[in-house]
């Protein structure tokens, strides 16, 4: 059953057209360019899906190989960008670092014509992991890492830069799945930000910089970090249940649950949940995964609220040794594909996005001379 969509937040209003994805058309489904998310997550690498979203079709083997090889050549960071990253303090939020990094890249490698849109997107796709890890390792460990590894997949390369060694096959696979699940989602808040910016005929870096800012909030992409902050406080499923009941009684929002469009479930959840379970077994976890499962049960039982894409990403990323504050930047590494494809779509059939407002202020009045004002 589809969700009843109306009310504030432009809910239920068609704000444009897209051929990129469908969200919740049957209450729970998600497709990218006509392909079901479950099949994509099962059969594809992230780079295949990025190619599909950005270039319109699934690549054949030779196209995929050359796309991955091309992205590998685009990972390096200009010295001016490294200099900026080195000046950002350790306690900055990595989403702010990425927002600044993207903006700086736009100064150094400005998109001067829309004909460059695929090229500047590929460059961002290749170097966002470098920006995150270069800053993180410099500010936290005092090392200037080499951002050009021989690892040919984006997610695995990210883990390699973060941890300093090649990740296991399991971790590589989970990163493919995670990045596929996060890649595209119709007119969500960050994508809509990108499209509004694109509709003024602005450049790709500005559109993406704005989108990063929108994704950062805990009601959107920031929920994976907020979910982790919550579950790591629970030392057993019973403890989780007790605390959650208290939060619900106090009418607190519980991050990682609920969705603006889906009514029954978020199809990405069952996929990432399975991988989180595999990772839990791999690390011998006996707390975080069972705690997460209990949170899911309590929210469904009490509120009929289901886990969205973010909830089981928290435990999955934690099991791979990823620091919590890097969770949402990983989302950016993936969603960049959706944002850029939407910018391209907007540009191809553009009219400036400029809705109207219902005025609720004062009636017309005159300006009292300043000396007479109380
Ligand atoms: C990748 C992503 O961006 S997925 C979304 C990530 N965000 C989160 O996980 C944050 C937590 N979730 C939420 O805040 C919301 O569910 C949103 C922002 C995702 C969707 O917001 P809305 O479309 O306004 O939610 P919806 O209309 O379904 O809310 C219905 C009711 O459930 C409540 N509700 C919804 N989600 C939650 C939650 N996570 N915890 C507690 N209550 C909730 C709402 O407050 C609302 O109650 P009310 O009628 O008393 O005001
Ligand atoms: O669609 C939304 O509103 C939020 C979401 O799940 C996403 O962007 O992946």
The residue-averaged pLDDT of 301-310 equals 97
Whether 109 has a pLDDT exceeding 90, the answer reads yes
Question: What integer pLDDT is reported at residue 1 of this predicted model?
Answer: 60
Q: What is the mean pLDDT of the chain?
A: 96
Q: Is 220 labeled as catalytic in the residue annotation?
A: yes
Q: How far is the CA of 295 from the centre of ligand 1 (A)?
A: 15
Mean pLDDT of 338-351: 98
Residues with CB under 6 A from ligand 2: 23, 185, 188, 260-261, 308-309
113-165: per-residue pLDDT in tens?
999 999 999 999 999 999 999 999 999 999 999 999 999 999 999 999 999 99
Report the atom number in ligand 1 closest to the C-alpha of 258. 16
Q: Is the dihedral of CA 99, 104, 105, 107 positive or negative?
A: positive
If you measure from the C-alpha of residue 211 to the centroid of ligand 1, how many angstroms do you get, rounded to a whole number?
A: 20
pLDDT tens for each residue of 55-68:
999 999 999 999 99
Distance 363 CA to ligand 1 centre (A): 35
HEC-encoded secondary structure of the chain = CCCCCCCCCCCCCCCCCCCCEEECCCCCCEEECCEEHHHHHHHCCHHHHHHHHHHCCCCCHHHHHHHHHHHHHCCCCCHHHHHHHHCCCCCCCHHHHHHHHHHHHHHHCCCCCHHHHHHHHHHHHHHHHHHHHHHHHHHHHCCCCCCCCCCCCHHHHHHHHHHCCCCCHHHHHHHHHHHHHHCCCCCCHHHHHHHHHHCCCCCHHHHHHHHHHHHCCCCCCCHHHHHHHHHCCCCCHHHHHHHHHHHHHCCCCCCCECCCCCCCCCHHHHHHHHHHHHHHHHHCCCCHHHHHHHHHHHHHHHHCCCECCCHHHHHHHHHCCCCHHHHHHHHHHHHHHHHHHHHHHHHHCCCCCCCCCCCCCCCCCCCCCHHHCC
Q: Catalytic: which of 185, 310, 313, 342?
A: 310
115, with CB counted inside 10 A (0-12, 13-18, 19+), is exposed
pLDDT score for 6: 82
Pocket test for ligand 2, best of 227, 261, 271 (most atoms within 8 A of CB): 261
Cβ-contact 263, 24 below 8 angstroms: yes
Catalytic residue among 157, 176, 205, 220: 220
Longest dimension (CA), the chain: 77
Which of 1-10, 56-65, 185-194 is predicted least confidently?
Answer: 1-10
């Amino acid at each position: 059953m589809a969700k009843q969509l109306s009310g504030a937040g432009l809910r239920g209003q068609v704000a444009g057209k897209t051929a990129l994805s469908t969200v919740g058309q049957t209450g729970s489904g998600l497709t990218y360019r006509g392909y079901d998310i479950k099949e994509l997550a099962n059969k594809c690498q992230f780079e295949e899906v990025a190619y599909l979203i950005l270039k319109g079709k699934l690549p054949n083997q030779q196209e995929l190989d050359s796309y991955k090889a091309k992205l590998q050549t685009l990972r390096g960071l200009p010295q001016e960008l490294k200099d900026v990253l080195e000046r950002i303090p350790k306690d900055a939020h990595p989403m702010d670092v990425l927002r600044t990094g993207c903006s700086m890249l736009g100064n150094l490698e400005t998109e001067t014509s829309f004909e460059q849109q695929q090229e500047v997107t590929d460059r961002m796709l290749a170097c966002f992991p470098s920006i995150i890890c270069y800053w993180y390792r410099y500010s936290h460990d005092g090392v200037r890492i080499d951002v050009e590894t021989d690892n040919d997949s984006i997610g695995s390369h990210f883990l390699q830069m973060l941890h300093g060694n090649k990740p296991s096959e399991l971790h590589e696979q989970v990163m493919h799945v995670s990045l596929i699940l996060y890649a595209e989602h119709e007119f969500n808040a960050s994508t809509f930000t990108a499209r509004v910016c694109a509709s003024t005929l602005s450049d790709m870096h500005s559109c993406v910089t704005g989108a990063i800012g929108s994704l950062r909030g805990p009601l959107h992409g920031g929920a994976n970090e907020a979910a982790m902050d919550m579950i790591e406080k629970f030392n057993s499923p019973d403890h989780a249940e007790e605390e959650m009941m208290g939060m619900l009684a106090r009418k607190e929002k519980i991050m990682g649950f609920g969705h603006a469009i889906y009514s029954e479930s978020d199809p990405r959840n069952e996929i990432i949940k399975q991988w989180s379970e595999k990772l839990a077994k791999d690390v011998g976890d006996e707390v975080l995964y069972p705690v997460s499962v209990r949170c899911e049960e309590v929210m469904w039982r009490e509120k009929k609220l289901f886990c969205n894409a973010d909830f089981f990403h928290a435990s999955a990323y934690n099991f791979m040794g990823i620091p919590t504050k890097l969770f949402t930047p990983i989302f950016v590494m993936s969603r960049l594909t959706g944002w850029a494809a939407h910018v391209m779509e907007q540009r191809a059939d553009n009219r400036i996005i400029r809705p109207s407002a219902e005025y609720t202020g004062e009636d017309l009045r005159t300006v009292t001379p300043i000396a007479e004002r109380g």
